[in-house]
Amino acid sequence: MARDRTHASPEGLLEVSLDAHQRAAVEAVCTDMHRPYVNAVAEKLPNAEIVYDKFHVLQHASRAMDEMRRSEFFSVPGT
């Protein structure tokens, strides 16, 4: 919905698109883990829970599992 991935972009969008009453009524926001987006939502929608999208959660978990597998593989003598 925003043009770029800066903090100001979603912050401005939330400020312009929603009035104070609407912002206060938002209960949850689904977003990726991009810190500027998370910060903007936390500032402009203080009552909203931040829910991370499944794709990015699984992507991070998969990377962590791959690192653990590599670490375990190379910790065994003779491999």
The reported pLDDT for the residue numbered 19 is: 94
Query: In whole angstroms, what is the distance from residue 48 CA to residue 44 CA?
Result: 9
Query: In whole angstroms, what is the distance from residue 32 CA to residue 29 CA?
Result: 10
Length reported for the chain: 79
pTM of the model: 0.69
User: CB neighbours (10 Å) of residue 45?
Assistant: 20
pLDDT digits (tens, 9 = 90+) for 29-56: 999 889 999 999 999 999 999 999 999 9
pLDDT digits (tens, 9 = 90+) for 8-36: 888 888 888 999 999 999 999 999 889 99
The reported pLDDT for the residue numbered 58 is: 95
Burial (CB count within 10 angstroms: exposed 0-12, middle 13-18, buried 19+), residue 41? buried
